Amino acid sequence: RSRQAHGYPYYSLLPYQGFARAKIHKMKYLAGFEIAQTFGFLMALALREEPELNKIDYLVPVPLHFSRFSQRGFNQAAVIADNISRGWGKTVFDGVIRLKKTDAQAKLSLQLRQANLKGAFGLLPGHSLQGKRCLIIDDVITSGFTFQAMAQLIVNYGGKPQGAFLARTQNRGG
């Protein structure tokens, strides 16, 4: 079932607690590339069952800044998106980049999260989202400000955003 964050619809697979929280933490901070692959396949199974998502044109993973990418060795959102693509047949759009290094959202107060992401994302030259239905892919939705920043970028370039997350925190509802 679809939910809303900052005026944009999104889907999430799991509540961010217990087993899911432990595995997501391992995926992000303990070189859990294979965990990200598995989560991507699971998300593909769930998302392709949602009739409203059948017309999605692109899967758009939330990009990491190159400094965080070099620390982790991979972008978990991109790995998840690649494996959703393999299991669902949707195209991964790789034209969104992170323009600035931001502080980790999880370490910031709610008040600082939105400001942290101002101007964080951009579209690479030669890429277009005009008229495209885009499914933003990330691991966890908490405050929704990363999702909002990505969605606004897509809207600014003529696309229609929705989101799909592996997990949601309690403040994101049901």
**Any idea where the domains of the chain sit in the sequence?**
3-172
Q: What is the dihedral of CA 75, 159, 157, 101, to 10 degrees?
A: -20
DSSP string computed for 65-127 = PHHHHHHHSS-HHHHHHHHHHHHH-PEEP--EEE-S----GGGS-HHHHHHHTTT-EEE-TT-
Query: Is 3.40.50.2020 the CATH number for 3-172?
Result: yes
SS3 170: helix
CA distance 159 to 32: 32
Lookup: tokens for 149 = 């920043």
* Per-residue pLDDT tens digits of the chain, which is 174 residues long: 689 999 999 999 999 999 999 999 899 888 788 999 999 999 999 999 999 999 999 999 999 988 888 788 889 999 999 999 999 999 999 999 999 877 676 677 677 777 777 888 999 999 999 999 999 999 999 889 999 999 999 999 999 999 999 999 976 443
